[in-house]
Homo-oligomer: A and B are copies of this chain.
Amino acid sequence: MREVAVLGIGQTKVEEQWDKSLRELAGDAALAALQDAGVGRVDAVYTGNMMSGSANFQQHLGSYIADWIGMRFAEGLRLEAACSSGSAAFRTGVLAVASGAVDTALTVAVEKMTDSPANEITAELATAADAEWEGDQGLSFVALNALVMRRYMHEYGWQHADFMPFTLNAHANGAHNPYARFQKAISEKAYLNAPVVCDPINVMDASPMGDGAAAVLLVPAEALRRLPGARVITVLASSGATDTIAVHNRRHGPFLQAAYLSAQQAYRQARLTPDDIDFFELHDAFTIMAALSLEASGFAERGQAPRLALDGEIRPTGRIPIATLGGLKARGHPVGATGMYQIVEVIRQLRGEAGGAQIDGARIGMTQNIGGSGSNILTHILGCS
């Protein structure tokens, strides 16, 4: 298996981008990555996206995006894994370059959500759950997460306010990220007084949707190692695992078995343990998911992630900094693009380009991207050598 390295990154700001079409957004991120890499031609374009077929009446993004950015004739495929579509596109690029079939793989992920009415987006997000057994009961995604959070609080004795540090940390970090949707720290009062969306989840537990795109160009590492003095960022691990599509079929709802499995696989591939991870871009679509991701990935015991957060260990100076550039909560959650934003943010940290959000001595970063309510989870570890 060939070692895979990063040659370029690009991203747009996450916001309501009504003046940009789907392809313009994707193109902005993709062309930025090519410019960053100094590359004018690629073998393949792998695009991650969840809902363009219904929200933008456009599918077939493999060809659509390749054409728009002037890469017609390259291979072009689209990956969809609900909110983990971005990581799915990245992983496909990793597999293609690792196999030797492709030498330059542009992975790009895009989502354009704010042109659609909120009720339509809620219905489209529900297609990531089990349509027949969850969607037909009227269960939205926030409702599914609320059930999991309520059960978690019941089992482990936490109060709603104990989840506050996840939100405060994300917003404090996002203040240093010019690509984040919200670039402002928030107060304890703002969290505690936020309106409830679906009890116990309030607005400040939930990440905002948005329009955005991010891109990463992948090449064989050997090509870069030949350049004298080059700092090479490589993919140390790439793994994915699924769980039941419906939450009610799980043995233990408040544990992310797919996160556990994909993290364990990633650690094995990279020959690392959680102690080796300098920072962790996890999938804090809701505060409960940040907690469950930390536990499943070995950073906290079951039921103890809020303790880690309350002790300040998730902050930039803590034991395992998370959401270092705002996470889903402050950077925003353009669903099919989020996984690629996480990868781009890890690379910014490894390059030392995270500005005021820079983690000192960041050499190994991990991402974890969740599709559905924990039903598809991809984990990546990147390192700098």
The chain B residue sitting closest to A52, CB to CB, is B127
Task: Note all chain B residues with C-beta closer than 8 A to A258.
Answer: 73
CB-contacts of A60-81 with B (<8 A): 60-64, 66-68, 71-81
Query: Contact at A60–B376, with CB atoms within 8 Å?
Result: yes
Please give the count of copies of this chain that the complex contains. 2
Q: How far is the CB of A367 from chain B (nearest CB, A)?
A: 16
On whether A124 and B92 interact (CB within 8 A), knowing A77-B81, A79-B77, A79-B79, the answer reads no
Query: Contact at A60–B78, with CB atoms within 8 Å?
Result: no
Q: How many residues of A contact B (CB 8 A)?
A: 69
Q: How far is the CB of A192 from chain B (nearest CB, A)?
A: 34
Which of B60, B249, B376 is close to A76, meaning CB atoms less than 8 Å apart?
B376
**What secondary structure prevails in chain A residues at the interface with B?**
mixed
Q: How far is the CB of A157 from chain B (nearest CB, A)?
A: 29
Q: How far is the CB of A63 from chain B (nearest CB, A)?
A: 4
Q: How far is the CB of A267 from chain B (nearest CB, A)?
A: 15
CB-contacts of A356-383 with B (<8 A): 371-372, 375-376
Q: How far is the CB of A330 from chain B (nearest CB, A)?
A: 26
Query: Contact at A58–B240, with CB atoms within 8 Å?
Result: no
Give the contact stretch, choosing among A94-102, A142-150, A207-215: A94-102
The chain B residue sitting closest to A372, CB to CB, is B60
- Cα distance A280–B130 when bound, in Å? 38
On whether A80 and B82 interact (CB within 8 A), knowing A63-B372, A63-B376, A72-B242, the answer reads no
Which of B60, B101, B372 is close to A371, meaning CB atoms less than 8 Å apart?
B60
- Cα distance A80–B81 when bound, in Å? 11
- Asked if A245 is at the interface of the complex by the 8 Å CB criterion, the answer is yes
Task: Note all chain B residues with C-beta closer than 8 A to A241.
Answer: 73-75
Task: Note all chain B residues with C-beta closer than 8 A to A169.
Answer: none
On whether A63 and B96 interact (CB within 8 A), knowing A53-B54, A53-B127, A88-B77, the answer reads no
* Given A50-B59, A78-B79, 17 extra CB contacts under 8 A: A1-B99, A1-B100, A53-B53, A53-B124, A56-B131, A57-B131, A60-B82, A60-B128, A62-B80, A62-B81, A62-B376, A74-B241, A75-B242, A77-B79, A98-B100, A99-B100, A101-B238
Jot down 13 A-B pairs with beta carbons below 8 A, ordered by A.
A57-B135, A59-B127, A60-B376, A62-B88, A62-B242, A64-B130, A67-B242, A78-B88, A79-B79, A92-B92, A92-B95, A96-B99, A99-B100
Q: Which 5 A-B pairs have the closest CB atoms?
A: A99-B99, A75-B240, A63-B375, A60-B82, A98-B99
